Amino acid sequence: MPLSMEREEVIEKFVKSIVRWRPFALFALALLGLALRLYGLNWDQGNSFHPDERQILFHVTALSWPGSLAQFLDPANSPLNPHFFAYGSFPLYLLAIIGNILSHFFPDITSLSNLTLVGRVLSAIFDCGTILLTGWLALALAEDTTPGRRYAWTLALLSAALVTFTPLQLQLSHFYAVDTILLFFTMLTLLASVKLARTDALIRWSLVAGLAYGLALATKFSAAPLIIPIIVALLLRWRKLGLVSSLASFLLTIVITTVTFLIAMPYALLDRVNFVQQLSAQGDLARGYLDLPYVRQFAGTIPYLYE
């Protein structure tokens, strides 16, 4: 009997030691993913072969800070207005700000080719963050459905590994388009939604949900359906903890979302006519009402399945 108990204690200690190391395994996967995403970033040797990336970079290099508040509030004359809303303004402003900071140390960094590389590094970093968020989200979802925390960690690491080596994400990390940034904030919104449904840290996760959702919208407005998991999470919270808690969380999330979106994309409000027109044009393009060369490949195909 003592021998059996001793053996069980050894096994238990071994399992606990493995569990303690699993967070490090997740970070190791993220670092490996970052290395894979940084490899060969200058694949086009500065020739800007990716059309969406080139379009974004053209608008980034045209941005500058307004000379006055009046100029900032004038969308027709403000140099901070990208006049481009097919994508959100957050990726443009982010790259412009980082490029401006780096230019104090590396004066040539603001050239189109160098700024493209800076953007691709940012894209790789965001996708590395998605690896971590995927593992965290899988862990949060699996903890309630698996017989032990070690099994939950197994699912978390497997999920993170799949993201680490997914060819599409490796490819997208080599462009400064909006895909990796949008995916990062999508995963963060989903994680915050899961936490909102379960946690007692109501204010913290409401703030995270609002910030993530607002930045997702400011990255690409097609992120709007992310309101659905937030609402579902708060409905689950309502059933468990009552109406007051859920309503307070929802209102806080919406306020933070609105403030974040308007800070990251102010001309969605200040230049709202142009914003709505371009958004409508993107909708017509997606539905096949506009005929442009780069969408003809989707003509006559089965919606959603082919696309």
Identity (one letter) of the amino acid at 196? L
Calculate the average pLDDT of the chain: 88
Mean pLDDT throughout 291-307? 71
Mean pLDDT throughout 14-33? 79
Instruction: Give tens-digit pLDDT for 200-249.
Output: 778 899 999 999 999 999 999 999 999 999 999 988 888 776 778 788 88
Instruction: Give tens-digit pLDDT for 41-69.
Output: 999 998 888 889 999 999 999 999 999 99
Instruction: Give tens-digit pLDDT for 148-181.
Output: 567 788 889 999 999 999 999 999 999 999 999 9
Query: Nearest Cα to 121, choosing from 31, 39, 28?
Result: 39
Distances (CA, A) of 33 to 26, 132, 138, 158: 10, 10, 18, 14
The predicted structure's pLDDT at residue 22: 82
pTM as predicted: 0.88
Residue 1's pLDDT band (cuts 50, 70, 90): very low
Q: How far apart are CA 188 and CA 181, in angstroms?
A: 11
Q: How far apart are CA 41 and CA 180, in angstroms?
A: 15
Query: Nearest Cα to 253, choosing from 184, 189, 198?
Result: 189
Tell me the chain's radius of gyration from C-alpha atoms: 23
197, 236 contact by CB (below 8 A): yes
The predicted structure's pLDDT at residue 18: 54
Instruction: Give tens-digit pLDDT for 253-288.
Output: 999 999 999 999 999 999 999 999 988 888 777 776
Domain segments of the chain as ranges: 1-40+49-177, 178-265, 271-307
